Structure 1
């Protein structure tokens, strides 16, 4: 029995090396939690803006062209909602990077290796395409479809990158896609779907990932 232990340990080490070389495993559950909290805070501030300026987040195609409630693309890009979205994204990205960097040190995995580059590329393509599509929605004043569009394209980006990282990431993408599709039938409630998708789902995902992969190493 004792003679088998070294072989089992060797096989385990080889398996871990193969996993590290084929997947980006430095993603931290704390990154998901931090991103989710940032999203919920951003949604809370945005909800206050929406309550005071509901015309700015409705589907303005239903309004007359000469309506005083209509807004231009310049107005939309410069308003408080856009600023909140930008600051929320920056804060979530910085915190996610910090926690991922810390985990990469603990797992002795390069944070910027071949797998990290593949993840970035596979995330970037759907995000860039989605960004162009959402800008066209804004130009056509279809503001009610921006929230579900964000969830759907972000879900596709996460799904596209999941094959290069932890398997559980797929389930996060499924949840985002499902919420985005449901939101298409509930136009005007985008802020709540954002809070569920970018906030609650990320927090649940982060807690599960931390519990499964990081709890024993703390």
Structure 2
């Protein structure tokens, strides 16, 4: 007859296998760190450009910017988005390959579809805000929709991602009231919170070579 400890070990292994079959556990924590560093670099780049143009962030959300600055801001945001998505897919793909979990298997498909649909809707909504020249809500809405996407997809991967989403939403809502701090909130949300989350996932699940 198996001992109590052996039975516990068996039950723990069964639980782990069930979680692996229902959740995508190859989402890389290092990708969160990479996204956060990119966001901080982008925030610094935007701040540098505004200083070079003798502009303040309030000039941006009040629409008092020239075409050169507008093009620069759009280029930075699009570049950061492409680099961030590429970093997530690359690092997550490498981790999935190492753990033997296909990134485009049904767990991965459910995760990324539930993640990117709210992000796509949020991107379109931000374009609508730009079309109507409501610039002061663009940065807060990016945080809010990103947070909603994280919460919506959290049931398909690590549960900790839900708390990251709540933090992003909280920062976005605060930035809706204090719009002069929109750039700082954007940097804290996409930068600082992503780095903290990524480091937590890496040291909790990945450092010892385990996904769960």
* TM-score clears 0.5: yes
Cα distance in 2, alignment partners of residues 76 and 125 from structure 1: 31
Residue matched to 2:47: 47
Give distance in 2, aligned partners of 1:176 and 1:130: 14
- Contact 1:35–1:198 (CA under 8 A) maintained in structure 2: yes
Larger Rg: 1
1:100 CA drift (Å): 1.0
Match of 1:167 in 2: 159
Corresponding residue for residue 138 of structure 1? 130
Partner of 1:27 in structure 2?
Answer: 27
Residue 148 (structure 2) aligned to one of 138, 144, 156 = 156
- The answer to whether 1:210 aligns with 2:210 is no
1:24–1:164 contact (8 Å) kept in structure 2: yes
Give the aligned partner of residue 64 of structure 1.
none
1:183 matched to 2:166: no
Aligned pairs, how many?
Answer: 207
Q: Which residue of 1 aligns with 2:77?
A: 85
Cα 1:70–1:199 change in 2 (3 A) is closer
Q: Please give the alpha-carbon distance, in whole angstroms, between the structure 2 residues aligned to 1:76 and 1:129.
A: 27
1:143 to partner: Cα distance: 0.5
Partner SS state of residue 177, structure 2: coil
Q: Deviations over 1:143-200 (max 9, x none)?
A: 0110001000111011100111111000100110000000011113211111100000
RMSD of equivalent CA atoms: 2.2
Q: Is the 8 A contact 1:50 1:56 kept in 2?
A: no
Is structure 2 residue 189 aligned with structure 1 residue 197?
yes
Could you tell me how far apart the structure 2 residues matched to 1:166 and 1:19 are? 10
Distance (whole Å) between structure 2 residues aligned to residue 70 and residue 50 of structure 1: 10
Partner residue, 2:62? 59
Give the drift of 1:70.
Answer: 6.4
The aligned counterpart of 1:65 is none
| Deviation, structure 1 residue 132 | 2.0
Give CA deviations for 1:19-76 in whole Å, capped at 9, x if unaligned.
111111111111111110011011110111233244761223xxxxxxxx466xxx48
> Could you tell me the TM-score, scaled by structure 1's length?
0.86
